[in-house]
Structure 1
Amino acid sequence: MLSLSCSEHKFEDKVKIQNNNKVVIAHRGASGYLPEHTLPAKAMAFAMGADYLEQDIVLSKDNVPMVIHDIDLETVSDVKLKFLKKKRNDGRFYVIDFTFDELKQLNVSERMNPITHKAVFPDRFPIFTSTFRLHSLQEEIELIKGLNKSTGKNIGIYPEIKEPAFHQKEGKDISKIVLKTLNDYGYKTKNDPCILQCFDAGELKRIRNEFKSELFLVQLMEFKKDEEKLEEISTYADGIGPWYKQIIEGKDKKGNWLISDLVEKAHKYNLKVHAYTFRADQLGDFRTFEELLKVVLYEANVDGVFTDFPDKAVQFMNKN
């Protein structure tokens, strides 16, 4: 573990890494400003200059890949008001129990606590105001490709396959369906602007080995034990996606940031590191969002960041 002090490592004196080596991933779109995973949030993130827009993917009853973070609906929609009879015995409303047409009838809101109906992030877009809808992966790809054409940009997509084991228990092969959609739209190899991610290591191995996918694959991580598997991960994936607190482990007694060796080890196995999730309204021990980005991107040498505030990350990187 390394202990870095501001006096020992002045950011202004560090050798600057070219910005094109560092990427900004719009986490669920510009979700700091508009309800997550809505097309307006994606269009806003595109305009803000993010390198990639993230899509979390869950299947509908009729096998349409839907862009939504959770396998259930009650935290971001008015499903209780419109489809109360579709509630399962555990009290949850699952995307997989609804057809695409039914899902399109829901109003989408800023993320909330389904019991208290209070916003998870109270200073963001007001709950259930304006009009937002769920959409499919196809619809989002067509939006991004359309914007790329009209602007001359080449913004990428960054889909995540959500809970493949759950889908398999429900009789659905989500990876097969998502890969077909990506292939249909020309996302096939590492040269294409698409990065595919998943927490399930077995499923990522299946995507690489059984489906023979040549896409850039990222193994998402959330536990300390995952860090011990970097060599194995490098045999089927091209990068890792750890929680940033697996990299920045707080401060020592002198107030210096403690940086783990995770990024250094990953780079030895030629794995890119895209860390999550950077929120300007949830800074933890950091004084400013800029300080958080500085430590993670340039002191810890992370290759990319998932952020709810892509404009702030892009502005920071353009200045540095």
Structure 2
Amino acid sequence: MPRTRFAPDRGLTSRMLLTMFLIGLLYVVFVGALLVFLKGAWLIIVIIAGGLFIAQFWFSDRIASFSMGAREVSAQDYPELHGTVDRLCALANMQKPKVAVAQSDIPNAFATGRNEKNAVVCVTTGLLRRLEPEELEGVLAHELSHVAHKDVMVMTIAGFLGVLTGVLTRVGLQAGLFGGFSSRDNRDGDNTGMVLLIVIAVSAVAYSISFLLTRLLSRYRELSADRAAALLTGRPSALASALTKVSGQMAAIPTEDLRRAQPFNAFYFAPAVSARQAASQAFSTHPSLQQRLEQLGRISAELGRQ
């Protein structure tokens, strides 16, 4: 299939390649350290690492869609939504993804899937109820840009190490609680406790580095998707209006609902946090609303001069 007409972003491509390289290097070091310290458990390590990677890569789209309550909808059920996606896909010269709707009052959208064939673009009922057609078009173009640039797949793979280290840290802590650290009556018990502490420490370091790398990439990819969507539709003001409206409406959402949605913020068009939380989050998955609006303002000025 020919290349899509979404504006290419060499900065995004180079950042994705660098992140994948660093994550891969960190993964090799992490697994190597585990093999050194857990000499008798290499088979378990390989099975856990391999199994989690396969599950994360092949089933992440289904897991994310299910977790966020996404349900695939037909053109008969949501003709205007499908019509907008059809128009944008034709404009971008890309394969149409599956279209889904999540029954949630939180105004948001997300894209998931390891490639265009398995991609899903989902909007919430809260978003459909609040946005005007041109605003919804901007949001959908933003999500389709994620699919076209393959950054959904990259974020899925990049997030794998965090999942793995989290699992191993919990396993280590549980093993310690159930006797690993309390066996002080012989040398073997002391060695077991020391090994568990080392595994937890290595996992924590690997997770921290992975967390920082994915957050840096995540912020850039959101700015890239905003820019690509604005250039494709030619209406950056509509996307800016949608961003302002969605971010402002978060204050009306119950705190409990926002907390339930926060684990999926890396997927969302806008983070499910209140304005006060957004301002205080140093490690947010998204750039600030001000940064996004300023970029869209510059694009609007550029398009006005053409």
TM-score by length of 2: 0.25
Normalized per residue, the structure richer in strand is 1
Structure with the higher fraction of residues in helix conformation? 2
Q: Whose radius of gyration is greater, 1 or 2?
A: 2
TM-score of the aligned structures, taking structure 1 as reference length: 0.25
